[in-house]
Amino acid sequence: MTIRRNQGFIHPHASDITPQAIYQSRRELIRLMAGGAAGAALAAWAGREALAQQVARPGKLAPLPGAKSAVAGATTMEKVTAYQDASTYNNFYEFGTDKSDPARNAHTLKTSPWTVEISGLVKKPGKYAIEDLLKLSAQEERIYRMRCVEGWSMVIPWVGYSLAELIRRVEPQPGAKYVEFLTQADPKTMPFVGSRVLDWPYAEGLRMDEAMHPLTLLAFGMYGEVLPNQNGAPVRLVVPWKYGFKSAKSLVAIRFTDKQPGTAWNKAAANEYGFYSNVNPDVDHPRWSQATERRIGEDGLFARKRKTLMFNGYEAQVGQLYAGMDLKKNY
């Protein structure tokens, strides 16, 4: 995959990312087009499918079941994305910039022992072992639509509980207006940490009311099992109405602050990635449209794209958080 340089950081353009739909017809197309660049791109997708056959499937990782969630909007009736697709087509730049790199490289991540430090404007700061975080609340299964900025989407059954459960326990001080999330940045186990792709460690942030919304999930598993490394083990953030890059993986620190925190992609390219990062089909990314998307594993090569839904289809649940805001300015 060609990576272009832009203003001091590296980020793949939409044109650099072969549509996931191509793999549906890959064998015949590879045979017909193998002599050219298109053949090379399609061959890469065939390699991704081979990788999918090698990854752990449900029943291979430790079980982590969850009860059905009672949170409004927490379960979609749409078809769930196949585990192999959800675990081999990922954004996790600590392990590489290609969508298949995390599944290929994340076996080096060491998830035990693991702690998450709570700090900043809270009454009860401290370090929580992953085992203690798991015990804070009952696990729920939530089937969320997930959309990434490049225009692909999935439906994933996550296992975890509302981040608000943890926030209430640590008791934020009155001045806390934002929550910052920092992820693991270990060059010994994450081969792309230290590259010029982003400013490490990866940082993300939410406004306090966004973090406290019951749909915002602290996730420990998916498909009834613990998270595979490439999907953000052992604990990650899932915010279903925001783009995929808003969901910080392999969390090691959560900080409460009175100032809007800098986020990894906003620092890398502020003109492209705003702090809010809401799914908004009416606001185009500078380099591609946000109006449509492809569902991983379902669309054929010539299938029409789906229309992107406002707030990724969660407008009824979260639209009031942004009442009165100019979402083109606060993108």
Q: What are the sequence ranges of the domains in the chain?
A: 14-54, 64-322
Tens-digit pLDDT string for the chain (331 aa):
433 333 333 334 333 333 333 333 344 334 444 445 444 444 554 555 556 555 656 778 999 999 999 999 999 999 999 999 999 999 999 999 999 999 999 999 999 999 999 999 999 999 999 999 999 999 999 999 999 888 889 999 999 999 999 999 999 999 999 999 999 999 999 999 989 989 999 999 999 999 999 999 999 999 999 999 999 999 999 999 998 888 899 999 999 999 999 999 999 999 889 999 999 999 988 888 889 998 988 865 556 789 999 999 999 999 999 999 999 999 9
CATH architecture classification, 64-322: Alpha-Beta Complex (3.90)
pTM equals 0.85
Residue in 128, 117, 119, 102 with CA at minimum distance from that of residue 227: 102
Q: Are 231 and 69 in contact (CB under 8 A)?
A: no
Q: Are 138 and 67 in contact (CB under 8 A)?
A: yes
